[in-house]
Structure 1
Amino acid sequence: MRARLLPLVAASAVGLLALTGCVANATDTGSTGAALTVDSSADACTLSADEAPSGNVSFAVTNSGDQVTEFYLLAEDGLRIVGEVENIGPGLSRDLVVQLKPGHYVTTCKPGMVGAGMDQKAFTVTDSGDDVVIDADLDAQVALANTNYAAYVRDQIAQLLTGTQAFADAYLAGDDDTARALYAPTRAHWERVETVAESFGDLDPQLDLREADLEEGQDWTGWHAIEKDLWPAEAEAGFAAYTPDQRQDLSRLLVEDTTTLNDKVQDLDFTLSQQTNGAIGLLDEVATGKVTGEEEFWSHTDLWDFQANIDGATVLYAGVRDILLEEDADLAAELDTEFAELQALLDAQRVGDGFTLYTELTPAEIKAFADQVNALGEPLNQLTATLVL
């Protein structure tokens, strides 16, 4: 987090952007096209088929479990929401109708409507030979993009809350190895929607303030206060480990503030300018904190945050890309290229499920990241003016 707050005016696999467009999420199952069934049980998300031809695809989702459930059709990266149905009670059914281009997708169900979803499966849309014409009504495309992004934000914050509780439990129990392992992947949910989270006033500094940005007399709480305690070897000489009471207070506040954030995002609405400026804001977060190594001062997990910010920016861009193609195809092509080149640099630093620590990067690698962030920033800064003005 930076000292100044951004107002709310604001996919890893960029190649996917050309395969998915704005879709029609409706309940009219009278549309011609493929018709599939989905059974959401307590422990499985079972589809009648794992592929369908491009065009209109309908999913009849039945809840055979004992909890209220949701069904999601996601882009190939498992992040961007292409279509969803929520609040399906036990024994009930709901329909999802989407208009899909050829490509690869992911399906998942979420019993209890919390967490990351379970039984994720690959879903393929083959080429039917017919052109898939996405809704030509610009207002409809914008409305759908706004709706899908709001669903994405709710999902990321819900996953943040689940992960935060597990992290806080481990930290409070003194299981520091588990807490350290959970730190970066849990924070990724925050970083993907950071510009939204920053819009809620005091919640942002309470959750994400760095020690370097503390003002005189300000209480220090949140992720980075705990980070310093979990990586004491990286702290300054004379640092004293927190007492059990301090750990309890920090853990409690972290969960309470994240719960408040989760409550606040439930009724969010977005505009097109908020989406485009949100993508720009996330890249700004990379440029001012992650690429400099200032964000994760003790854990050095800055590349995890870097990737999450780019995930969020990619999701925002993907949501408006079909609209941009109609307005400025050359700008869309340039953004596709620059996103892909930045992702390639990140992929080169992958180690297992994570990344190289920031302190292990060479000066040349850091410069390459900074240069590519700047290269992406130039066309990305044109997005709002192209689509909104």
Structure 2
Amino acid sequence: MKSTTALLAAVAGGVALLSGCVPNAGIDTAATVIAVDSSDDACTVETDSVASGTVTFRVSNSGERVTEFYLLGEDELSIVSEVENIAPGASRDLTVLAQPGSYFTVCKPGMIGSGIGQSSFTVTGDAIAVSEDRERAISDAVANYTAYVKTQAAELVPNVQGFVDAYVAGDDDEARRLFPLVRINYERIEPTASQFGDLDPAIDYRKPGAEAEGLEFTGFHRIEMDLWLDAAVANYPDETIIPLDAAGRQQIGQKLVDDVTALYDAVHADDFELSVSDITNGAIGLLDEVAAPDGKLPGEENEFAHTDLYDFYANVEGAEVAFTAVRQIALDSGDDGEALVAELDEEFAAMKALLSTYGDYEGGFVSYDTVSQDERNELGAQLNALSEPLAQLTHAVLGVDPAE
């Protein structure tokens, strides 16, 4: 994710909206749909109150900039859930299991700044209970996926250290070789990383994003710019871009090591928690990372190195792992869940097969600047074919067990 989040917690204390719970028999599980209009200067939510249960915010972008929609906790800081990268003229759904409490809604046109149109939002009624079997399945899914996140973070730290060592030592050929490979672990879990305040901006913001938010340009892409300096000079002809000296390399390299170590510490902390909705919404968030205007599909993510296909594949892998974690829960939700799982199995396989025609991690992917617009359109069409059913996963997982 390329937007700055306001708080460190995945789920703040006292925020129960994304509980991972599933309604018992007697609860109407049809989603309540709430229309949201995000324009360039307003965030209009159809209603400011809803009864507890499954709720879908249908966010339409009537503005001229890419936007995102946030559901905040009672403290107005904690991010309960979000939907990002909604292009002008497009709409996206954010489905949550709404537990009673006080919340806030806000839109962020341009995906920078503090957002606009923040308004109170209330969930009334009774708390939603869970069946014992479904609760156990959800608990296992969350535990398994949390372990995966911790493993990816654990692999990231030494990999980044090796990359930085080569960069600081002036071994640019080795550093260029390692650059796309060390990003794989990060790209697989990026929605989780973005939950921790300034870590994602420090680790993975591109130059325009950092400058737009008044942040220091650091992390992977700062080193990328230095390693592919000729491309950087060509991309920014009106700026004076010079290579970093040894001290500058040491400073920027050590900061990246420190930041990914902080990410490791955060996901291994005793109070680190994920909910089942973090998993399902994070899956679609990973595909949003690919399709975003500054993402992999348009070739903007790694604008100097053109290694976007490595990131693209890693995002798809991360989304598939998230889907796999809750796959059985979706299957158990009834005929609709079974059909959705079958479709997702097919579309994930098709997406990975198409990407594999451009290479792999071991042998390398082709430079993305050699991928034609027609080929990018084909990748985009398959990405859409995968994203559309994946956007339904949260509702399927939060649906009632037909046996209840």
Q: Same fold (TM over 0.5)?
A: yes
1:270 to 2:274 alignment: yes
Question: For 1:112-261, what aligned pairs fall within 5 Å after superposition?
Answer: 137-213=133-209, 214-215=211-212, 217-237=214-234, 238-261=240-263
Match for residue 358 of structure 1 among 368, 380, 392? 368
CA contact (8 A) 1:9 1:273 kept: no
1:371 to 2:375 alignment: no
Name the Cα RMSD after superposition: 1.9
SS of residue paired to 2:348: helix
Query: 1:303 — aligned with what?
Result: 309
Give deviations 1:42-78, integer Å, cap 9, x for gaps.
xxxxxxxxxxxxxxxxxxxxxxxxxxxxxxxxxxxxx
CA–CA distance in structure 2, aligned partners of residues 150 and 216 of structure 1: 31
CA–CA distance in structure 1, aligned partners of residues 312 and 220 of structure 2: 16
Question: For 1:304-383, what aligned pairs fall within 5 Å after superposition?
Answer: 304-327=310-333, 328-350=337-359, 353-383=363-393
Specify whether residues 249 and 222 from structure 1 end up closer, same or farther in structure 2 by C-alpha distance, changes over 3 A only: same
Give deviations 1:337-366, integer Å, cap 9, x for gaps.
111111111011116522111101111110
Structure 1 moving runs of 4+ over 4 Å: 4-10
- Unpaired runs of 5+ residues, structure 2, are 12-131, 235-239, 400-404
CA contact (8 A) 1:9 1:275 kept: no
CA–CA distance in structure 2, aligned partners of residues 334 and 4 of structure 1: 33
- Unpaired runs of 5+ residues, structure 1, are 11-135
CA–CA distance in structure 1, aligned partners of residues 136 and 191 of structure 2: 25
CA contact (8 A) 1:6 1:281 kept: no
Offset of residue 269 of structure 1: 2.1
Offset of residue 239 of structure 1: 2.7
1:279 to 2:283 alignment: yes
CA contact (8 A) 1:338 1:376 kept: yes
Offset of residue 6 of structure 1: 9.7
Aligned amino acid, residue 349 of structure 2: A
SS of residue paired to 2:332: helix
Percent of residue pairs identical: 44
Aligned amino acid, residue 289 of structure 2: E
CA–CA distance in structure 1, aligned partners of residues 289 and 177 of structure 2: 23
SS of residue paired to 2:268: helix
**TM-score (ref. length: structure 1):** 0.65
CA–CA distance in structure 1, aligned partners of residues 155 and 305 of structure 2: 22
CA contact (8 A) 1:9 1:277 kept: no
Question: What count of residue pairs does the alignment treat as equivalent?
Answer: 264
Offset of residue 387 of structure 1: 1.4
